[in-house]
Amino acid sequence: QAQLVESGGGLVQTGGSLRLSCAASGLTFSGFLVGWFRQKPGNEREFVALIGWSGVAKDYADSVKGRFTISRDNAKNTVDLQMNLLKPDDTAVYYCAATTVWSRQQATYNYWGQGTQVTVSS
């Protein structure tokens, strides 16, 4: 059974950094594009970043561009999200998801993790 598990969330002060990791089991991660999404309190889930099969192609939401970096290690079946210069507005539950379509649209994603909480204090 395919499963994605996020880790690395926590509490950090404004300007700090966190590194989230998404680990896959039960599926060949290298055959999927992997995205990160987040859901802020009271808001709908939104796109954060996307990485292609080889790790070269990347896409970022404007709100995180220049602060967040997505990367993958297909040998380890993991995708990471390095988050720097964090702001209180980055507080959210962060989800990783896998798709076979280059898209920011959540409906195109086949597999989802359970989410990890990131809280940025001011």
Gap between the Cα atoms of 56 and 63, Å rounded: 21
Q: What are the C-alpha distances in Å from 119 to residues 24, 33, 34, 71, 88?
A: 24, 26, 23, 22, 7
- pLDDT, position 14: 98
- pLDDT, position 31: 92
- pLDDT, position 56: 96
- pLDDT, position 30: 87
pLDDT by position in tens, the chain (length 122): 889 999 999 999 999 999 999 999 998 888 999 999 999 999 999 999 999 999 999 999 999 999 999 999 999 999 999 999 999 999 999 999 999 999 999 999 999 999 999 999 99
Shortest CA distance to 69 belongs to which of 85, 54, 53? 85
